[in-house]
Chain A
Amino acid sequence: SYVVTQPPSVSVAPGETAKITCGGNKIGTKNVHWYQRKPGQAPLLVIYYDADRPSGIPERFSGSNSGNMATLTIRRVEAGDEADYYCQVWATSDDHPVFGGGTKLTVL
């Protein structure tokens, strides 16, 4: 089964840039989606297909995917961005998608 690795936590000051990584073997050849999960709320899709943003998601959120690492970048971080972030990885050649373990973003 494909293994996806995320750092357990990332901390950043308001106004700074947060980078949350998602590692996996040749992940650059796969599709990566990103979700934001706040306590008591359903997950929110913030990035799909590596770098596309659903409507309503601020431009501060961006994604990239190459080699063995995908990255979610949040610029000008706000207190409201504090949440757990999950990457989800899938390729059409795979049996099924896999979630990363999640990264807790703390805004200092």
Chain B
Amino acid sequence: EVQLVETGGGLVQPGGSLRLSCAASGFTFSNYAMSWVRQAPGKGLEWVSGFSDFGRGSYYADSVKGRFTISRDNSKNTLYLQMNSLRPEDTAFYYCAKDFRVGATTFAFDVWGQGTVVTVSS
């Protein structure tokens, strides 16, 4: 079964840091581009960051550029999101998502995790 499981969320003060992890199983992780997508309370989906297949490049939304860093460890089948200088507006559910096409970056996601909640508040 193809599965994504996010961990690492929690409560953090403004200016603080968190690292999210997404453990993948049931598919050849290294062959697929992966992304992080978030949804703030009462808001819509917002794409946050993506990492192309085979590590060919990373991408960031303007709202997180310079503060968040995406990475992946293909030997551990895990995607990460290092979040620094967190702001209250970063409060959201964070989802890990898998690109549907092998060996390409399409940003069309066919598998999503259940999400992990990040709350930035003093």
Q: Which residues of A contact B (CB under 8 A)?
A: 1, 31, 33, 35, 37, 42-43, 45, 48-49, 54, 84, 86, 88, 90, 95-102
Which of A48, A90, A96, A98 is within 8 Å of B60, CB to CB? A96
With A96-B50, A96-B59 in contact, is A86–B44 under 8 Å at CB? yes
Contact A42 B47 (CB under 8 A): no
Contact B59 A102 (CB under 8 A): no
Question: Interface size (B, Cβ < 8 Å)?
Answer: 20
Q: Which chain A residue lies CB-closest to B46?
A: A99
| Secondary structure type dominating chain B contacts | strand
With A43-B45, A96-B50 in contact, is A49–B109 under 8 Å at CB? no
Which of B45, B62, B114 is within 8 Å of A1, CB to CB? B62
Q: Mark B75-108, 1 if CB is under 8 A from A, else 0.
A: 0000000000000000000010000100000111
Question: Hey, which chain B residues are within 8 Å of A48, CB to CB?
Answer: 100, 106, 108
Instruction: Assess whether B61 is interfacial by the CB under 8 Å rule.
Output: yes
With A35-B45, A49-B106, A95-B59 in contact, is A42–B100 under 8 Å at CB? no
- Distance between Cα atoms of A84 and B43 in the complex (Å): 11
